[in-house]
Structures are given as C-alpha cells and as structure tokens.
Chains A and B, each alone.
Chain A
C-alpha cells in the first residue's frame, strides 16, 4: 500500500514568518471557496453571506463589546490550558473547574448579599480562582502521586461539577422567589463586575452606551502578559516546555515531574475558575444550572489553534468568538440554520489546521519522471 500525493513536504529549517500570516489567510480563502458552493446551493449570495458571517458582527461598537465579552473567558481558560499542554499535561476538565469558580464566587455573593461592600467582588475573584484550582487539585493529586490519567479524571470531574451546580441551584442555594426553578438570587451590585460603560471619567459612558462588556476583561488583559512571562521567560515555564518536548531530557535535568503537574493543573484550574466568575458575576449575574455554553471545551480548540503560544491564543480566542457571533448573525440575517454555521466552523478550523503545515514545511511538486523512493512495505 503506498500513498502517492502529487506533492511532497520538505521540512523548513526555520518556521516561515511569512507563512504565519499567509496560512490563515489561505484557510479563509479555501473556506470561502467551499462556502461558495454551499451558499450557492442554498440560494444565498456567497459574498453577502461572508459579509454577514465575518464583518457584520464587528461592524459596530456593540459587536466589538460582545466579541470581547465572549473571547475573554475563552482566552483566559486557553492560556491556563496551554501551560499544561506544553508539558503534555492534558487537563480537559477546564469546564468543570470553571463551574467550581462559579460556585465559589456565588457562595460569597449569596452569603454577603445583604451586607456586601467594595471588598466583595475582589473576594469573589480570589474565591473563584481558589475554587477552580481546588477542583483541578483533585486531578493533580491523583496524577502526581498515584499516576492516574489526568485526561480521564478531569473529564469525569466535569460531569460531577455539573451535577454539583445542579444540586446547589435546585437545593440549598435556590432563590426562594424562584417558584422552585433552578437559579440563585440575582447578585447585588457589589457582587457584579461594573460595566466599562460606567466609566464616565474616561468618556466610556457615551462611547460604550448600552454595551455589556465589563471589567472582567481586565483579568484577561492582565493574564496575557503574565502568561507570556510565565511560559516563555520563567524557569518553570522552560521546565514545562522541556518536559513536553523531551521527557527524558527533563528527567536527566532533574525536573520534578510531580511539581510540574501540580503547577500546570493548579494554574489552569485557577484560570478556568476566573473565567467562571467573569460569567456569573458578569452578564448573567446569578448561578443557574445551564449558564455556560461550553467555554471550557472550546478553549481546548483555542489553545491548540493558537499553537500553545500566547499571541496565537489571543487571536484564536477572538476568531472563535467571531465564528460564534457570525453563526448567530447568519441565522438572523439569512435564516441559515445553525447547522450551516457549525459546518463552517468545522471547515474553517480544519483548513486553518491543515494550512498550518506551510509554516514548517515547503510544498514541492513531485516530478513524475523521477522514480520516487518508497519505503519497503512490510510483508
């Protein structure tokens, strides 16, 4: 069995800087071409469809506000995940850690609902980070000390965290006024991230009037440079990368695997917890049993799409958020079923991933005249 493609890939000595930009553009063009066919078959003008999908959602300040609101938690979680992924520590339970962040923050918000104070929100933020980290700590402890597979434990704990949220909002934390419906009370102002639009001293009140973007995006803005410092400039970040790229080397160098597991999982858990508080104390303003659209899972795509690098992750988070908003816009403006936007998201992601090959490889046409050296097939 031989696989003959009309081209072959020659590894580059250095990743191509040009292709870092060209590859994503090529992916968009390819998606466009496939999209052309699909849209034409659906009786839509492809160009209009693309405008609706990619440009309309961010054509006004309202759109940008929504984009940031959506990209921010994705970016935050993905940054945390990337730390572990670099060391081959696969925390795929960020969704559950995010729930715990939401739960811890909500606990404070409800308990101090009457008394409150300016300290409440900062305390909730810390609690959320602690909650996410604690949930991840279960995975960390089992992995570090009993060598239990972290992929599986973190995934299973996500299902448990979901049930824990349900238990709380159907039980002890249920709003007494809720007619037995599953949600907590609406948080007080002290327990909510202020809207950016409330910053009149910066002139934001007129600029951002009616938008929902809130102070929680500051957490992401701070996390981005910190993550960069940690991943690319700190010794432990270096250790994590070595452990991922060359585990034997890491062992010879005497890096403690246990320590790396703990660091990676606690940090990613804390980041996911922060994303949790940015939602419950942000646009939702309460805890209920279905408040997340799966940010913890989407963030895995964001981290991988961003090539586990900080800058890449920022762009990937914005792109995923845009795809999501675009899908909604296409439903509203063109009445395309949601399924079509999912097909598009899938296609674009596939093309993006596939085109990435150009960064590290050169494509060369195979010349038919030359005999191609084949690996000897196993008998």
Chain B
C-alpha cells in the first residue's frame, strides 16, 4: 500500500512538474549536459556526479537547464552522444569518465562554440577542459584513521584497475597509515572491474582472511564495506557517503563533491567567461572530503585526522611529500620535496609498505 501511494504521489509530482515546465518561459536558460558512464542508481561514481548536478541546479534554479545521458558505453557510442548533446543546444557538456577522452576531443572539434569538460583525463584542447579531484587526499586521511584503528597492522585495499589514479590512492592510504604506525603494511587485491559486488566481496573476504582489519576500496559498490561489517572489521565508504550501508563497520567516507565545481562552471559561462583552466581540485577546493567520521574513534585518532585535515584544507600540507620510499626502501623522493602534478598523475610504483607487485 505504502509503495503504491508513494508511486502515485511521485507520478502526480512528475505530471505537475511537466505542466509547470511547459508554461514557464524563462529567459533562455543555459543548457548543460552530463554524460555518465554508469546508471545514476549505482550508488557510487555516477551517483556522486549526479548529486553534483543537482547541487548546481538547486543553486542556479531556472538559469540552467540540465540533461543527462546515463550508462553510455566508452566505445563508438560516446562520440555520438556527445555530438548529439551539442547539436541539441547544450553549451556545456561534462563527460564524466576516463574513456570519454578521445570521443570528447573528437566531438569538440566540430562544436567550437560549446565548452566540453572531461573528468579524469589528461588531454585538453581549445574547448576541452579537464577536471579531476585529488581523491588521494581523503584516502591519506582514511589511512591515518586506519593506522589508529588497525590492531593487526595489516590494511586491505580492493582495487579496480592499475591506473595511476588507483595506484596513488593505494599509496596515499598506506602513507597515511604509516605516518601513525611505520610498521603497517597494505595488502592489495585487484578485481579487474569497477563494479561487481560479488567479486568485491570475495576480494574483501580474501583480505580479511589474510589478517587485514581495515579496508578501503577504489571500486563503485558498497560491498567491501558491507563485508567488513559482516566479518567484524572496519572499512570506509568511497565516492559517496556510505554510512547507511554499514553503520558499525564504517569509519568515514571519502567522497567526491562535484556540486561546487559544476556551479562554478555554470556561473562562469553565464557571465560570458567560460572556465578554461584545468582544475585538479582537492579538499582545499571543496572537490572532495572525508565525511561522517565515526564517533567511536579514539580521541587521538580524531585529533590526528582533524589536524591533518586542517593542514590539507589550508594548503599547508601536500600528501605526496618526501621522503617517499619505494617498496624496496629506495628513495623515490627526497625529504622536503613534493611530487609534481605530472608525477602524481603518472605514478607507476607502490610505496614502501604496500605488499605485492603492481600489475603491469
């Protein structure tokens, strides 16, 4: 019964909205579009982008009009969708997955008046701007928490694919933990998928079986966190706040916050000065965060995280600052120096404390 009422209410709302939409004639809103790699209902990566879009809509109201296309494969279809969106009058198109890089560049050439924004890539053009978030910052803070919480000194990481983005998150997590307890090690299991709750769960089980007691994942589902709760260990949420999935096991969630950026891009375009600079934002810029930190943490842990978070947010602290040692203990970066963005963006080694071999 409840569901039916709910459905009917939703439907009525939808009809009403449509009617309203048909009658209100605003001064031509700015048309913006998003191309998503997964469904909005994935509860992870795409979900976070859509929250960002909604935030921009809430802020700018009828000044913008948004369109989304979800689950667009990263093959030949992507270029068509991007072109289609531009043809339909969208002045701003966000392509939110790495695999859209070439399609975005190709399509952008035909639409010089539109602005394209590609997430997580590294090639830009006259009207293609790239943006990304430094998720390694919240990953580092998660590592600090893990360092305090782990009793066995073994952390686990469920990883998707050996791209720099994932490798540096593993490194940051490990470095964060070792800043608390220099003996800590991280075990990594690669699942070769972004989304497969079954595999993610099995990977988590394998890690827990080998003694890992605080897990982090760079995959899209909440399966790792749920597994942690079932097995009585701890874990983090990733991409979006996952507290509700596993209240007991949840230590904190490293989340993407795209709303501010999307709003900024829209405002700049509305002002006639489209944003053209590469944005690789971190916690300082409000593009990601570590939220819902567990109240059950020890006071020292809470204090340590709060301190480092303040340092990162104020720009005083860079995560990848030397000395950084490789797995064999060799110096990768001398003390006092920091990795450049280019180095961070193409990292292809594990830091000291990570076990196993980086897949090549």
Direct contact, A vs B (beta carbon within 8 Å): yes
A interface residues (Cβ-Cβ under 8 A, vs B): 41-44, 62, 66, 69-70, 163, 166, 170-171, 179-182, 186, 210, 212, 279, 282-286, 288-293, 324, 328-329, 331-333, 335, 337-339
A66 CB contacts on chain B under 8 angstroms: 80
Chain B residues 54-111 with CB under 8 Å of chain A are 67-77, 79-81, 84-85, 87-88, 98-99, 102, 110
A-contacting 9-mer, from B12-20, B147-155, B170-178, B269-277: B12-20
**Between-chain CB contacts (< 8 Å), 6 pairs:** A43-B17, A282-B76, A283-B76, A283-B79, A328-B72, A333-B88
Q: In the complex the two chains form, is B67's CB within 8 Å of A290's CB?
A: no
Q: Does B360 contact A (CB under 8 A)?
A: yes
Q: In the complex the two chains form, is A210's CB within 8 Å of B110's CB?
A: yes
Q: Does B122 contact A (CB under 8 A)?
A: yes
With both beta carbons as reference points, the residue of chain B lying nearest to A292 in the complex is identified as B75
B192 CB contacts on chain A under 8 angstroms: 163, 166
Interface string of B12-56 (1 = CB under 8 A from A): 001111110000000000000100000110000000000000000
Q: In the complex the two chains form, is B84's CB within 8 Å of A332's CB?
A: yes
B98 CB contacts on chain A under 8 angstroms: 181
Q: Does B164 contact A (CB under 8 A)?
A: yes
What distance in Å separates the Cβ of B257 from its nearest Cβ neighbour in chain A? Answer: 24
Q: In the complex the two chains form, is B161's CB within 8 Å of A337's CB?
A: no
A293 and B345 in contact, given A44-B18, A66-B80, A179-B122 (Cβ under 8 angstroms): no
Q: In the complex the two chains form, is B79's CB within 8 Å of A212's CB?
A: yes
A43 CB contacts on chain B under 8 angstroms: 11, 14-19
Q: In the complex the two chains form, is A288's CB within 8 Å of B88's CB?
A: no
B interface residues (Cβ-Cβ under 8 A, vs A): 11, 14-19, 33, 39-40, 67-77, 79-81, 84-85, 87-88, 98-99, 102, 110, 122, 161-164, 167, 192, 345-348, 359-360
Q: Which of A288, A324, A329 contacts B99 (CB 8 A)?
A: A288
Q: In the complex the two chains form, is B164's CB within 8 Å of A179's CB?
A: yes
Please report the C-alpha to C-alpha distance between residue A70 and residue B73 in the assembled complex, in whole angstroms.
Answer: 13
A180 and B164 in contact, given A66-B80, A337-B40 (Cβ under 8 angstroms): yes
B67 CB contacts on chain A under 8 angstroms: 331-332, 335
Q: Which of B39, B70, B73, B75 gathers most chain A CB within 10 Å? A: B75
A-B CB proximity, top 10 nearest: A283-B76, A293-B73, A43-B15, A43-B18, A291-B75, A43-B14, A179-B346, A331-B69, A290-B74, A338-B70
Please report the C-alpha to C-alpha distance between residue A279 and residue B348 in the assembled complex, in whole angstroms.
Answer: 30
B102 CB contacts on chain A under 8 angstroms: 186, 284-286
B359 CB contacts on chain A under 8 angstroms: 170
A41 CB contacts on chain B under 8 angstroms: 11
With both beta carbons as reference points, the residue of chain A lying nearest to B11 in the complex is identified as A41
Please report the C-alpha to C-alpha distance between residue A43 and residue B15 in the assembled complex, in whole angstroms.
Answer: 4
A186 CB contacts on chain B under 8 angstroms: 102
What distance in Å separates the Cβ of A317 from its nearest Cβ neighbour in chain B? Answer: 15
Q: In the complex the two chains form, is A290's CB within 8 Å of B345's CB?
A: no
B79 CB contacts on chain A under 8 angstroms: 212, 283
What distance in Å separates the Cβ of B343 from its nearest Cβ neighbour in chain A? Answer: 11
What distance in Å separates the Cβ of B113 from its nearest Cβ neighbour in chain A? Answer: 15
What distance in Å separates the Cβ of B79 from its nearest Cβ neighbour in chain A? Answer: 6
Please report the C-alpha to C-alpha distance between residue A70 and residue B81 in the assembled complex, in whole angstroms.
Answer: 13
With both beta carbons as reference points, the residue of chain B lying nearest to A335 in the complex is identified as B67
Please report the C-alpha to C-alpha distance between residue A284 and residue B122 in the assembled complex, in whole angstroms.
Answer: 18
Please report the C-alpha to C-alpha distance between residue A337 and residue B71 in the assembled complex, in whole angstroms.
Answer: 10
A290 and B85 in contact, given A163-B192, A284-B75 (Cβ under 8 angstroms): no
Q: In the complex the two chains form, is A291's CB within 8 Å of B162's CB?
A: no
What distance in Å separates the Cβ of A214 from its nearest Cβ neighbour in chain B? Answer: 11
A288 and B74 in contact, given A179-B164, A179-B346 (Cβ under 8 angstroms): yes
A337 and B164 in contact, given A181-B98, A283-B79 (Cβ under 8 angstroms): no
B15 CB contacts on chain A under 8 angstroms: 43
Q: In the complex the two chains form, is B76's CB within 8 Å of A339's CB?
A: no
What distance in Å separates the Cβ of B221 from its nearest Cβ neighbour in chain A? Answer: 18
Please report the C-alpha to C-alpha distance between residue A353 and residue B72 in the assembled complex, in whole angstroms.
Answer: 27
What distance in Å separates the Cβ of B133 from its nearest Cβ neighbour in chain A? Answer: 16
What distance in Å separates the Cβ of A322 from its nearest Cβ neighbour in chain B? Answer: 13
Q: Which of A163, A328, A333 gathers most chain B CB within 10 Å? A: A328
B348 CB contacts on chain A under 8 angstroms: 180
What distance in Å separates the Cβ of A176 from its nearest Cβ neighbour in chain B? Answer: 11
With both beta carbons as reference points, the residue of chain A lying nearest to B67 in the complex is identified as A332
With both beta carbons as reference points, the residue of chain B lying nearest to A282 in the complex is identified as B76
Please report the C-alpha to C-alpha distance between residue A186 and residue B79 in the assembled complex, in whole angstroms.
Answer: 15
B81 CB contacts on chain A under 8 angstroms: 328, 332
